[in-house]
Structure formats: structure tokens, C-alpha cells
Structure 1
Amino acid sequence: MRGLSLVVLNMVGMLALSPAASAATCGNDGSGFANWLSQYKREAVSRGMSSRAVSRALSGVRYDPRVVRLDRSQKSFKLSFKQFYARRVSSSMIRRGRSYIENNRRLFSRIERDFGVPPEVIVSIWGLETGFGANSGKMSVMRSLATLAYDCRRSAFFTNELDHAIQIVARGDMSPDQMRGAWAGELGQTQFLASNYVKYAVDYDRNGRRDLIRSIPDVMASTANYLKRKGWRAGQSWGPGTKNYRVLREWNKAKVYVKTISVMATKMAGR
């Protein structure tokens, strides 16, 4: 990759994280959470995590019944593309996207050189995910992930995400208090899960931290890095039926969401 030193994970005091779920017993209400959390902390350290990072990340964490209610209330995606696009995208949103690109032309040119992803695609994702950073979420990521890791419905998945969230703290990217996002623990202006944050986030402003909440260069470059690592083909179309369209499916499995990214990017590019 030209002009950029890729992130090398600083794993001092930590071993590679196992995707296996903690053996701690899950629960379907908050009554067993405190015991579960104590056991999770012990097991996390036994699996090679820094005891200091575990303690710091999970200090004061409590069970959040609201998170469980939100998880249980998810419904199947039933909107048509036309309905979804009308709800989520407007002409003013397209104009704002173009303005962001024009006002940050040097940054986006460098990102396209380094990762091969056009600015229109990155900015479309940014706009759809959080309204260009306006709605990235205010819930404690550690509290949400600990609650969902304890909850029996998807314990293994969210235990893995909690492991990686602690790794973000351990390597110094963000403090636990700074890690605020959506109810399911998504972080930053383009909503990275913690495991994807660890794998794909880059320190593009070169300040020593990968900050997907406050650093626009880090946000934009990390989103491009994700797409590149998933197989994005530089200089090629992103419309339906293309290889790049299939890469967008890696970002979000919902067909209407992927089509919306593609159409938004095409309109921003003036095609």
C-alpha cells in the first residue's frame, strides 16, 4: 500500500484473542450479571488479556435491560428499495456529501491513492450510517457489549466483540469513557463493530491512535481500508452485478442498504 504504513497491532501483555465464547454462564435477566462479569474478567486474564486493561474497561459496568429490549425488538427488513431510499436519502444529503468531498479534496485524493476507493462511496456510507457523524450514538459500548455477551441469545458473538473492545482500550486508541456508540456496540462515524475496529482501523492522521469517533481522516481511511481488504477493485464500477457491488455486501447484508449506497455514490459522482 503506497504512502501508508499499515496498522500493526500493539499486543504487549496480550495474546491473540480466541473467537470462542467465554465459559461463563449466560443469563436472560440481570440477576446473574454480577457473577458472570466477575467470571468473565478472570477468564479474560487467563486467556492472555492485560489485567489492567480488563479492570479499566469494565470498571463500573452494569447490566442494561434497555439493550436487551432493543435486541429483542429487531424486526425483519421489509421495506422496498424505493421506500428505504425515500426515508434515508434526500437531495440535500447528496449536496452535503458533494460539499464534504470538495472541501476535503486533498484528504480524499490521498485515500483513493492509498486504498483505491472513491470518495463518493466512502461519503455515502458515512451519510447513511450516522448522518455524516451527527448520530454515532451515545451509549456506553462496554456496558452494551457486556450486557449482550451475558445475554444468552448471542453470547458467543458478543463475547468476541467485548474481547476486542477491551483490546481497543489496551492498545491506547480510546478510553472506556470515550467509547460511546449505538446500542449493539457499534463504534464511530461509520459504525464499526469492535472486531472490525481492531482489524481495519488505521491511524491516518498519524497521532498514534486509531480514533473513529473524533478523527475524520481515521474514519474515512478506515472505511476505505475495510472495503479494500474485502476485495475492492480500484478504478472499477460499483453498480449491481460488479465485483465492487459484492464488496459492498460485506459492509451490510441488506440488499436495499447496499443498493442505496451504490445509488447515492453514483449521484454524488454526478453520473
Structure 2
Amino acid sequence: MTACKARQIVACLFLAGLFPASAAAGFGECIGEIRSEAISRGIEAATADQLLADLAPSERVIELDRRQPEFTATLNDYLTARVNDARIDRGRALLDEHAELLQGIRRDYGVPGRYLIAFWGLETNFGSYTGRMPTVQSLATLACDRRRGEFFREQLLAALHLVDERILEPEQLRGSWAGALGNFQFLPSVYRDHAVDADGDGRKDLWDSLPDAAVSAAAFLRARGWEPGERWGREVQLPDGFDYALAERKQSLRAWRDAGLRTADGGPLPVADLAARLLIPAGADGPAFLVYNNFDVIMRWNPSRFYALSVGLLADRLIGAPPLSNPPPVEEPLRIETVSALQEALNRRGFDAGAVDGRIGTNTRRALRAFQADAGLVDDGHPDTDTLEELGINQSGR
């Protein structure tokens, strides 16, 4: 798409279909409402006026929001880009370099250093790129968009609070397209609620102070329910003739052992009452995982299964774990339009896939498993070629 000139951006977004007419026409009104709410929450009018003046929605932000890799990449592509040799080697070096800091964090917060290094690697490639997009414009665009407006409205208000309380200077508000900041890409509300001045210099600096950034990340994870002494999960082997209707079920490791699951290398699972949920994220031909409470905590950082698996697997590789014993298959990525068509087809046939949003979530996976079982296919909840063909859908989404 041809780039829009600043004064034409609303019209361009409208014509491109990326920003709905009602939102485009009402962007100024939306910002006015946010300004009023900020002042009602105690933020100085001068701060609100300084940061909210002369804003226009960002075409690039809307495009990136609609094309997030968590929704469009295959598991193989996602892991290949994130859990690779270069990142593993660099992460191991940093784990050694910052051993004293990380040991102290584990003692105080219960979060092992390998997880913090893994988050750091995935979020900013160990601080090499923290983002340069203007945070207020990004958050304002998303706050006034139809998809997750209320969530990002709160983030924009939190950003105004950070400046109003002199925690951050306005020029520091640059980061990712979604408004995340610093080494660990904290959203403004997370920065406000969980940032720590760990080095004692009077500032909560998540860019240039690794102690501040890493301790803040650990504090956030612990506040979200991190269980010290537990891992994120593990790869497992499924028995022959496995009943895929058990996917997504949560039960004890002992029960999964009794159901015939084994460790990735073929050994017996521990005899334990630890609750574990079974994930089969790339279908019957791909890897299977039992995930624990800390996996769900990782998803409270980023609500993507692929992301949470990448954190856990990278953390394991940093301390010498082998690669996956059953790597995910190489597949063609599904377009958002294809997933939308799939959801529409399932709904038409009476299999409730929920809202047609082009994203495969819990409802869509459940509907897929039910349809596959009804059609005599492998009911793994994965939209493989056979399933798409049975639904009359090709990769173009028609």
C-alpha cells in the first residue's frame, strides 16, 4: 500500500479497510474522551495535552496488529525463528555473564535465570532492539480501533500516568508497535505496577539497567502466579492409538502416566500429582507437550501458545536440553482469510467455532476436533490439508 501523507491518513486507512469508517471519523472524538478520562483520574491537563495533541492513527500499527506472527506462522516457522543456535549460544553466554545477578533474583523471586534470559531473547534479542515507534501514537491508534480498544485505552492512560508521575520522560515513550517498552517490552500498565529500582539509583530504568529490567520481569512473573521449583512443561510421547479427545485436558502427571504417555526420550513420566494439560499444537504429526502452571503464567505475559512454548523450550536449551525429539512438520502457513473461512464453515455445519476472527483459539480447536471425529479424520484439532478439503476450503480461504 502506498504510504499515506499525515493529513490524509484517516482517509487512506478508511479506503484500505484497515480502519473502519466509524473509528476513522471518530478518532479525534475518541482522543478527546481519553483526555477527559485521564484528567478525571488525576492526570494533569498539561500532561494530557502535551502527549495527546496532534495525533493521527498509524496505518503501520493497524497492519501489524492484523498480521501478528502468533496468528499467521506455523509452529515450525515460529520456533525456527526464535529458538535457534545463534540465540541459544548468546543466551548461554549471558546466563554465565550475569550469573550473580540471576542467582539473587532466583533467591528473592523464585524465577530461574534461564527463563529471564529466554524472555529477554524473545522480546528484544537481548536488548539489541527495543523499538523506535512512538508509543502514544501506537496506543492511541489501538485504543480507538475496533478490535481491542478498551485494553489499549487503559495502556494509553497508564503511559500518561508514567509521564505525569515523572517516572518516564515523554521522549522515552518509544518502543514496539503495540506500545511495549524496554528490554523486556513491558506494556505501560506493567511498567507502572511492577517496575523495580533494583540498582538503587532512584530510577526504574528498563532500558539501560539490566538489574532494574530483570528484577522487574521476575517481579511481574511472580505477581502473575509463578511457582518456584516448577518447570514450564515437557515434551512427551503419545502411545499408539492415542485418543485425541484427551487433548487440552488437565489432570495429574500420575494420570497421564497411566494413560500411556512417556517422556520425550521414551522414559516413564514422574509419579506425581502435579496438574498438567496436554497440548498438541501442530497436530498428530507434530510434538506433544504436557504443560504446567508456569506455562499459563508465561501466557499471562503474552497470550500465545507458540510464544509460551518458545520461552520454555529456549530456557531448556540454555541449560543443555536437546532439541525436540519430534519437531513440528513443515507446513504452509494459513492465511487469516483461510482461518475465517474455516470458522464460517464449521459454524454453518453446526460445530460452534465462536466468533469469525481468523484466529484459532480454544473454541475453534474444539469445533475442529468435533468435526474431524464426525468426518472420520484424525481428531487432533489441527487444520491440516485433509480437514480443509473436507470443509471445502483451499489455502486462499475460498
What is the correspondence of 1:126-145 to structure 2 with a 5 Å cutoff? 126-145=120-139
Would the alpha carbon gap of residues 252 and 69 (structure 1) be closer, same or farther in structure 2, given more than 3 Å must change?
Answer: closer
Provide the residue aligned with 2:216 in structure 1.
222
| Deviations, residues 13-38 of structure 1 (Å, cap 9, x unaligned) | xxxxxxxxxxxxx9656554344434
Alpha-carbon shift at residue 80 of structure 1 (Å): 4.1
Corresponding residue for residue 182 of structure 2: 188
Pick closer, same or farther for the CA change 1:43–1:248 going to 2, 3 Å. closer
Who is 1:9 aligned against?
A: none
Residue identity (%):
37
Tell me how far 1:178 sits from its aligned partner: 0.9
Secondary structure at 2:233 match in 1: coil
Is it true that 1:264 corresponds to 2:314 in the alignment? yes
Note if 1:253 corresponds to 2:303. Answer: yes
Contact 1:33–1:150, Cα closer than 8 Å, also in 2? yes
1:232 Cα offset (Å):
1.4
Describe the superposition over 1:142-170 as per-residue Cα deviations: whole angstroms up to 9, x where unpaired. Answer: 11111222233332221111111111112
Tell me which amino acid in the other structure corresponds to 2:35: K
Aligned 8 A contact 2:23 2:144 in 1: no
- Structure 1 equivalent of residue 107 of structure 2: 113
Cα deviation 1:109-151 (Å, max 9, x = unaligned) = 2211211111100000110111111122100101111122223
Relative to its length, the structure with more strand (as a share) is 2
Is it true that 1:95 corresponds to 2:89 in the alignment? yes
CA distance in 1, matches of 2:94, 2:142: 36
Q: Which residue does 1:13 correspond to in 2?
A: none
Amino acid at match of 1:232: W
Distance in 1 between the 2:33 and 2:232 partners?
Answer: 47
Matches within 5 A, 1:51-130: 51-74=45-68, 77-130=71-124
Tell me what 2:167 maps to: 173
- State whether residues 34 and 157 of structure 2, in contact with CA within 8 Å, keep that contact through their aligned partners in structure 1: no
- Residue in 1 that maps onto 2:42: 48
Whether the aligned pair in 1 keeps the contact of 2:34 and 2:153 (CA below 8 Å) is no
Separation in 2 of the partners of 1:119 and 1:50? 40
1:78, distance to aligned residue in structure 2 (A): 4.8
**Deviations 1:223-269, CA, capped at 9 Å, x for gaps:** 11111111112222232433222322222222222122111111112
Amino acid at match of 1:217: P
Unaligned 5+ segments in structure 1 are: 1-25
Looking at structure 1, the residues matched to 115 and 68 of structure 2 have their Cα atoms a distance apart, in angstroms, of 27
Cα 1:58–1:206 change in 2 (3 A) is farther
Structure with max Cα Rg: 2
Q: Which runs of 4+ in 1 moved over 6 A?
A: none
Relative to structure 1, is the Cα distance of residues 70 and 245 closer, same or farther in structure 2, using a 3 angstrom cutoff?
Answer: closer
Amino acid at match of 1:191: Q
Cα displacement (A) at 1:54: 1.9
Q: Does the aligned pair in 1 maintain the 2:47–2:163 contact within 8 Å?
A: yes
> Which is bigger in relative contact order (C-alpha 8 A, separation at least 6)?
1
Provide the C-alpha distance between the structure 2 equivalents of 1:36 and 1:139, rounded to a whole number of angstroms: 21
CA apart distance, 1:68: 2.4
Structure 1 residue 211 corresponds to structure 2 residue 218: no
Secondary structure of the residue that 1:146 maps to in structure 2? helix
CA 1:152–1:248: 2 relative to 1, 3 Å: closer
* Higher mean displacement: 209-218 or 136-145: 209-218
Write the distance in 1 (CA, Å) between the matches of 2:70 and 2:216: 29
Cα 1:254–1:40, aligned 2, differ >3 Å: closer, same or farther?
Answer: closer
**Distance change in 2, residues 1:107/1:56 (3 Å):** farther
2:140 equivalent in structure 1: 146
Of residues 39-48 and 123-132 in structure 1, the stretch that sits farther from structure 2 once superposed is 39-48
